[in-house]
Amino acid sequence: MTTATRRVTRRLAPALALAALAAGCGPAQYPVAGRVAYEDGSPLTEGTVVGETTIDGTKVMARGAVGPDGTFAWGTAKAGDGARAGKYRVIVVPRALSNAELDQGKAPAVDEKFTRPETSGIEFEVTGGRNELKITVARPAPKPDPGPDDKKDPDDKKDPDPKAKPEVAPPPKPKPDPPK
């Protein structure tokens, strides 16, 4: 090693040590992983699990994408990096449906009560060490079949009453005779 290289290394060593320490500092985060399944045990195959808490007056969120087997891992800054300790209100957000799917009458994969913290009823406490969150959700209730009138195109005009007389415009008023 040359003298110049040793000088640069000696000067940078304290800065590199501080940077390494700073990267490890900050609030501790703990692994949170789990599975989302329906009441029959089959997995939710797409969506997001979101947890929300307040720490020192600041709202903190953690989230994880649901995989095809129903599993997820929470992260805050990046996927799977864990969550800070605390009590979280949890929601499950299913994959958004396209307009075409909605037009076909497809329903979201999860009952909408699970998509709002006020109604989901799911709370979870993140503590030191590994945390496992098992969530059971319900499918949305089937919508009642629309009646025959509900299936008509709203732009269609109602069928006219066959007994009703057609509306006839009144005859035009005669023009007054010009003065003589």
Write out pLDDT tens, residues 15-37: 434 333 344 457 899 999 999 99
Q: Is residue 7 part of a domain?
A: no
- Is 15 part of any domain? no
Q: With left for phi above 0 and alpha for psi between -120 and 50, is residue 129 left, alpha or beta?
A: left
Predicted local confidence at residue 120, as pLDDT:
97
b/e per residue 76-108 (b: at least 16 CB within 10 A): beeeeebbbbbebbbbbbbeeeeeeeeeeeebb
Rounded-to-integer distance, Cα 90 and Cα 53, Å:
9
Q: Give how far the C-alpha of residue 149 lies from the chain's centroid of Cα atoms, to the nearest Å.
A: 34
On whether residue 65 sits in a domain, the answer given is yes
Residue 48: domain span: 25-135
Q: What is the CATH classification number for the domain harbouring 77? A: 2.60.40.1120
Residue 17 covered by a domain = no
Query: pLDDT tens digits, residue range 48-86?
Result: 999 999 999 999 999 999 999 999 999 999 999 999 999
* Percentage of residues in the chain having pLDDT higher than 70: 66
Contact 104, 86 (CB under 8 A): no
- Over residues 130-155, the mean pLDDT reads 77
Residue 146 is assigned to a structural domain of this protein: no
Residue-level pLDDT at 140? 93
Q: How many CB atoms neighbour CB 154 within 10 A?
A: 5
How sure is the predictor about 168, in pLDDT bands with cuts at 50, 70 and 90?
Answer: low
Is residue 157 one of the residues assigned to a domain? no
Q: Which residue has the higher pLDDT, 61 or 168?
A: 61
CA–CA distance, 152 with 158 (Å, rounded to integer): 10
What burial class does residue 29 get, using C-beta atoms within 10 Å of its C-beta: 0-12 exposed, 13-18 middle, 19+ buried? middle
Domain count, the chain: 1
Per the prediction, the chain carries an average pLDDT of: 81
